[in-house]
Every structure is written in structure tokens, then in C-alpha cells.
Structure 1
Amino acid sequence: MRLELRHLRALRAIADAGSLSRAAAQAGVSQPALTAQLRRIEETLGGQIFRRGRGGITPTPFGQFVLTRARAALAIVDELLDGGDPGSGPARLGGYANPVLSGLLTRLFEIPGLAVTVQTEHSPRLLLDLLASRRLDAATLVDYPGHRLPSVPSIETRSVGVEPVFVAMSSRHPLSGRPEVGLADLAEADWVLSPPDGVGWPECFTAACREAGFTPRVPHLMVEVAMIRELVARRRALSPCRATFAADEDIAVLPIAGTPLWMRHLVAWRRDGPLARHGDLLVRLATRAHQEALDACPHYTAWLARQEPGPPADADPG
């Protein structure tokens, strides 16, 4: 027998009901039929999934293993099948976990009568696809000079600000006391990068390093900020980072000389979605959140004070 989604749903129903008779009644099938189906599933998987007792049935250790994966698989399938609008439910906001998203959420939560749910993803391109497929109503996004997100007719996209890419290093690194550091000075370093995001990262960083005369050595790929900070603080790696990346006694955040890398922050929403009428408000709140996050970073304000007036030539001033 080949395992199918209906078999996973049957296992979930039995586990949730705690009884074969109750699960059969809820599914509209006879108990003998459900029992026979369970027996075939157990034969296919090669182990007993449920143990029968006076109080009903409970999963065996092997059954716990199977059910955990069955629930995860069904959740993914149900999410894929659940397109369209949420009706009268909360507006669905997506984004990559950064100060623009968190600051925007904080402000949206304060608006009376506006209910919002949030979903974070690493890839801006995936978030754009979720918007286009009506699985999100709005999202905060990022892209990079030379690597712009594509225009989608059904989606309104607005820039809310740009910021330079800096470098995070241990405060014990020999170069950590400089006001800025050249990429070429870091040619021998190990780097920790976040995986490809579908828009142009880390390709744009690699291209900037090659322009500086070297190919970066990248033994670590991860998205977890806490793990990145741990590697940096222990002098195991350097990391390119947002200008809003927090410095502390163990980590220094330095501008890159010549500012070869920028990122652009955007807010996007479906033109026919429940947040479309709040589009201008989303832009204002996201812009304010971004600016407040930048203003709170001494390494950014010190860098900004040294710059000539006007936006960089290769960045969208928003």
C-alpha cells in the first residue's frame, strides 16, 4: 500500500479523538473499516502506532514519531491549499524579522479595530509570491541595488528607506577600533552569511568582495541572529549586517569604506486586499519605524555625520 494524505488525516483524526469508535463516528465510517485501515497503515510503516487501553488509545513512541511528521506534512499541505482571502478575519502581514517589521507591527497593534496576524520568512521573493497568490495581504520587503524585486501588477510597492550594509566583528578584532573598514582589509577572514534570499543576497556581497580583490571564505550559513552573534563575538567569523545590527561590549559594528553595499526597505500590499485602503498609513508607519531604528544606532549616526549631503547614486532614496 502507498501512503497517501488520507491515511495521514486518518491517523491525526484517531489521535485527536483518542478512540477508534469516536474517530470513525466523526469521519462517517464504520469502526471495523477504520480499524482495518489503521492496520494497513501500520503494516506499511512497519510498526505499531497506537496502543489500546481502558481509557482509549494512545500513541506508542513510534506512533509519536509518525504523528509529529504527519501533522507537519498536513499543515504544509493545508497551507498550500488554503489560498484566497481570509474573509472577515485579521489582515495578514508578512516580512523578514527586522526593525521595520517589528516597528510597523507595534504601531499597527495600537490602531483600534485593526486585527493583524504576522508571518516571517527569510526570502523577500517568497513573500512577494505569497502576496501575489493571496496568502498575504501586505509585507515588508528588502532588495538591493542591481537586484530589484520584480513589479507585480496586482501589488502596490513603496520604498520606505535605504540603509548601508555594515560589518559586525568581535570587539577584540584588531580592526574593531577603526571608524570604518575596507573590504580588502578583511580578505583573510571567515564569514557567516545568511542563505540566498531569492532577490540578490548574498550574491551582491560576494560581488562586492570580488570587486575588492578577493572571494570571501564562507564556512557558515545561517539565519538565526543569536547564532550569528555568537560566532562573531567569539571571533569565529565576521558578518555583513544591517546598519541597525546592535553593537555591544563583545561586538563592534563598522561601516564599510566607500559604502559599496546598500539595502532598500519596502512595504507592499495587494491592491484588492483589506490593507489597500491603509497603504499610505503603512508607508508612514514603516518609514518612521525604520528611521527610529537607525537613529538609535550610534555607529550609524556617526557614519551619517561623515557623509556628504544627498542619497547615494546607486540607491533609491524612497
Structure 2
Amino acid sequence: MQLELRHLRVICAIADAGSLSKAAIAVGVSQPALTAQLQRVEGAFGGQLFRRGRLGITPTPFGQFVLTRARSILLTVDELLSGVRADDDQSDVARIGGYVTPMLSGLLSRLFAVPGVSITVHTEYSPRLLLDLLASRRLDAATLVDYPGNELPPVPSVGMRLVATEPVFVLMSSGHPLADEQEVRLADLAGDDWVISPPDGVGWPECVYSACQEAGFTPRVPHSMTEQTMIRQLVAGGHAVSPCQATVQDGPGIVVRPLAGNPLWLRHLVAWRRDGPLARRAEELTAFAAQAHREAIAERPHYAAWLARQHGTAPA
């Protein structure tokens, strides 16, 4: 038997109803037909999904495992099939996307405070995916990042504005031999293990590997992850160093240090659909994002100190 989306919907309906008879009514089939279908689905999965008892039907541990993933699949498929809203530009809800950064957080807090503006938030790791969601009319605006030399491609239907260009710093344990340095030479990290987040579709982490090659080494990367909490845990434990945004906050057991010579840079951008409900607020969006970015810098002593040393020489 080949599993189909309708089979996933059936097992979700059974779990929601708590009984085969109620589920049969919900999906519009007879109870014997639903029972036979469930048996075929369980055969395809190779295990029992539900346990039948006096109080009804409940998922087995394996069934709960399958249900969690089935619901996620169905949610994603339903989102894809929903397409663009019919009342897209007339909606009073603006769909904001972005990669999680202090700039995004600050922009959102400012938008939430604007009278008459309601927003929903959608975060993604990949800036390229966020740009595609804008182009396909599934987002109205987004904060993005890219890297000099690996800029996001222009999309005719999407407006884009540069907010800031900033260096990439390094996150290391406070017990690292170089933790007390004002800035760290990339070459001096050649002997460290690294934790680097996976490809984001616009040049990361390729730019990191290129910078390391120019510094004379290939980084040893036994860890790859996007979860910031886990990255910080590895770094704080002295198990790895990690490239990071300059606005990353230090904390217990962790320090953020600039890289000498600034071999790595990233750009923060704001983008919006030219025919979307936020197009007329493009200047305001950019101003909000710039304010949020300046606010984040002011709250990061390591970044503010780096800026003071540059005497205004950072690229615009």
C-alpha cells in the first residue's frame, strides 16, 4: 500500500475524535470501512498506531510519533495549497518574515506599536527562502541577511533596502586562551574545533571557509546546527568556537570577540513586496529596522567598542 495524504488525515481524524465511530462520521465513511483503512495504514507503517480500550481509542507511543509528524506534514501542505489570499492587498494583517536577529525583534516591537497595523510573524533560517516567500506573495515584508560578494539576487516584484553592513565576530568560551584579547586573528583559531550553521542559500558558510582558507587553514567543523542555545552550550563548555553576528549577546561562560582585519562581513536588509500592503511604508520599515539595529549595537559593549576603534571606517 502506498501512503497518501488522505491516509494521514484519517489517522489525525481518528486521534481527534477518540473513537472509530465518531471519526467515521467526521470523514464520511462507515465504521467498518474506516477500521479496514486503519488496518491497511498500520500495515504500511509497520506498527500499531492506536490502542483500543473501554474509554475509546488512544495513540500508542509509536502512533504518537507518527501523528506528530503527520500533523506537521499536513500543516505544511495545507499552507502550500492555500496559495495567495484572495483579499491579499486589502487585508488589515501584514505578514512579516525574517531570520531571528535583534534587528527583526526591534522592528517587530515598533510595528506592533503602530496604531492600525496588525501583523503576523514567520521566521526562517534561509534568507533565500524568505525572498522566495516574498516573491510568491506569501509574505509582505521581511528582514534579510546576505554577504558582500554573495548578494541576494534582485527580484522585480520585491523592493529591497540596505540597513547596515557589519563584521562577523567569533563566539568563544571565556576560558579560551584568546578570550582576553581585544580582537582575535582568524589564523590563531586554526587549531580549534568549530560549530558552524549549515548553508543558508546565499553564501553561508562558504564565506567562512573562504576566509579561513585565506588565513591559511581549513576549519575543523565536527558540529553543524542552527539552534543558538545548543551552539552557546558547546562554546561555553570550551568544545568549539563559532562565527557569529556582531550583535550576538555574550553571557555566562561566553565572550564575543572581533576578528582582526575584519575578514568576514554580512549585510542586513529590509525587503517588501512592491504591490503589497506595506509598500507605502517602505521608508518607515527601513527607519524602524535601522533604529532597531542601532539599539542592538548600543546594548552590545563589544560591538560599540569595535565601532569606536574603527573611527567611522566600516563600509556602508
- Pairwise same-fold verdict (TM > 0.5): yes
Structure 1's 51 and 180: CA in aligned 2 closer, same or farther, altered over 3 A? closer
1:89 CA displacement: 6.3
**Aligned partners of 2:171, 2:68: CA distance in 1, in Å?**
38
Alignment of 1:198-217 (within 5 A): 198-217=201-220
Deviations 1:91-133 (A, max 9, x none): 2211111101111111111122222111211111111111112
Does 2:298 correspond to 1:300? no
- 2:92 and 2:117 in contact (8 A); partners too: no
**Residues of 1 paired with 2:196 and 2:130: CA distance?**
20
* Cα separation, 1, equivalents of 2:168 and 2:3: 48
Residue in 1 aligned with 2:68? 68
More deviation, 275-284/33-42: 33-42
Structure 2 match to 1:37: 37
Residue correspondences, number? 313
Given residue 289 of structure 1, which amino acid in structure 2 is its aligned partner?
A
* Structure 1 residue ranges without an equivalent (≥5): none
Q: Check if 1:163 corresponds to 2:166.
A: yes
What does the per-residue CA deviation read over 1:9-30, in whole Å, with 9 as the maximum and x for residues that have no partner? 1111122122333323233333
Q: Give 5+ residue unaligned stretches, structure 2.
A: none
1:240-259 alignment, distance < 5 Å:
240-259=243-262
RMSD across aligned positions (CA): 1.9
Q: How does 1:142-221 map to 2 (within 5 A)?
A: 142-221=145-224
Task: Give the Cα–Cα distance (whole angstroms) in 1 for the partners of residues 81 and 69 of structure 2.
Answer: 18
Identity of aligned residues (%): 67
Cα distance, 1:283–1:40 mapped onto 2, change above 3 Å: same
Q: 1:60 to 1:211 in 2, by over 3 A?
A: closer
| 2:166–2:314 Cα contact (<8 Å) kept | no
Counterpart position of 1:125: 128
Closer, same or farther: CA 167–20 of 1 in aligned 2, 3 Å: same
1:94 aligns with 2:97: yes
| SS of residue matched to 1:306 | helix
Deviations 1:182-226 (A, max 9, x none): 112222221111111111111111111111111111111111112
Alpha-carbon shift at residue 244 of structure 1 (Å)? 1.1
Displacement after TM superposition at 1:33 (Å): 2.7
* 1:110-166 Cα shifts (integer Å, max 9, x gaps): 122222111211111111111112222211100011010011111111111111111
Report which stretch shifted further, 181-190 or 140-149. 181-190
Q: Which of the numbers 121, 134, 141 marks the counterpart of 2:144? A: 141
Q: Paired residue for 1:11?
A: 11
Per the TM alignment, residue 54 of structure 1 is displaced from its structure 2 partner at its CA by 4.4
